[in-house]
């Protein structure tokens, strides 16, 4: 998480305009606190990704409701075997998804 105070008003406005386009309207009074909070919170970031994808998926498949039953999870992995299994899963995921032939080919 990035502290909200690390974003200046100008930083937020520049990010907004680069993402939404130079012709987008930016109201400093209303939008600065919202985007400052949104861009400094992993929770808000994950919420937006999941909601945006849910709307897209539901529209495409003519369905309603949430796609996930719960929020993202963060788990501390201390056990050596569990850690190795988690790392192997992450490294081999592009291979299992047929994106690449070998893990080192995925950047």
Whether 46 and 72 have beta carbons less than 8 Å apart is answered as yes
Which pLDDT belongs to residue 33?
Answer: 86
**52-81 tens-digit pLDDT:** 899 999 999 898 887 876 666 677 777 778
Task: Look up the pTM and report it.
Answer: 0.45
For the chain, the distance separating the N- and C-terminal CA atoms, rounded to the nearest angstrom, is 24
> CA nearest 15: which of 40, 47, 44?
40
Which pLDDT belongs to residue 23?
Answer: 86
- pLDDT value at 107 more than 80: no
**79-96 tens-digit pLDDT:** 778 888 888 888 899 899
Q: Work out the average pLDDT over 10-35.
A: 86
- pLDDT value at 38 more than 90: no
């Amino acid at each position: 998480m990035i502290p909200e105070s690390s974003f200046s008003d100008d930083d937020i406005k520049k990010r907004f305009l680069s993402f939404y386009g130079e012709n987008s309207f930016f109201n400093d009074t209303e939008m600065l606190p919202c985007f400052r909070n949104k861009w400094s919170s992993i929770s808000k970031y994950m919420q937006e990704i999941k909601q945006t994808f849910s709307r897209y998926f539901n529209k495409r498949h003519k369905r309603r409701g949430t796609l996930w039953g719960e929020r993202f999870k963060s788990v501390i992995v201390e056990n050596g075997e569990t850690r190795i299994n988690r790392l192997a899963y992450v490294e081999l995921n592009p291979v299992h998804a047929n994106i690449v032939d070998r893990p080192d080919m995925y950047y």
